[in-house]
Amino acid sequence: MEQVCPVCNALASVEERCPVCGGPMADGGAIENYLGPYSPYMPVDSLQQFAPDRQCVHLLYCPRCHYDTRAAWELVMI
């Protein structure tokens, strides 16, 4: 069995609303993807140092007003 992010693996969707304008927030992907040029290609286990509680932290942004924030999802076993 393996622990995976439900959002990265399309097992869950982002249902957050923008606190500024009320529009739907869009998923900008996992924060690990922004850490370096090879981050998206590295094994998830090697990037867990950045999410110590077995969470996957994503960048959420509002396409309407450009507000952004971070949100964490608990990893699930598959």
Note the pLDDT tens digit of each residue in 12-47: 999 999 999 999 999 999 988 887 666 656 665 544
pLDDT at 10 over 80: yes
Taking the C-alpha atoms of residue 66 and residue 47, their distance in angstroms, rounded to an integer, is 27
User: So where are the chain's domains?
Assistant: 3-77
Residues 29 and 56: beta-carbon distance below 8 Å:
no
3-state secondary structure of 27: strand
Taking the C-alpha atoms of residue 50 and residue 56, their distance in angstroms, rounded to an integer, is 9
Q: Quote the mean pLDDT of the chain.
A: 85
Which positions ≥6 away from 76 have C-beta within 8 Å? 3, 4, 5, 6, 11
